Structure 1
Amino acid sequence: MAERNIYKRADGNWAWRLKADNGQIIATDGGQGYESEDTCRTMADRVVGGYYSDAKKTITK
């Protein structure tokens, strides 16, 4: 089962990552970090839960 992980970074900010069943990291906060655990959790839930599923889809070559 995939795992969404919230953690505190060495710089004091909160971050999130999504690990696939095989343990590979397949999504992160992109290094942004968040000052509060709650904001980090909210953004992770939005991304993983499909909140942005209606985002414009583009391909850059």
Structure 2
Amino acid sequence: MFDRLIGKLFQRAERRAAEDFQANARAINEKVRLLAKLGGAGSVSPAACRKYSASGA
């Protein structure tokens, strides 16, 4: 009986960890796709970034 209880606890923990890992992987993939989409839209040189940030725009 004790073995079954401990086994259920471990299975629940493993399942929860796998679900969390999968959710994190989905979120990371979504962010990577967004960054790739933004990066593909056109790149801005670091000098241009400094120019615009210095002007306050």
TM-score (norm 2): 0.27
Larger strand percent? 1
TM-score (norm 1): 0.25
Q: Relative contact order (C-alpha < 8 Å, sep 6+): which is higher?
A: 1
Larger helix percent? 2
The structure having more radius of gyration, on CA atoms, is 2
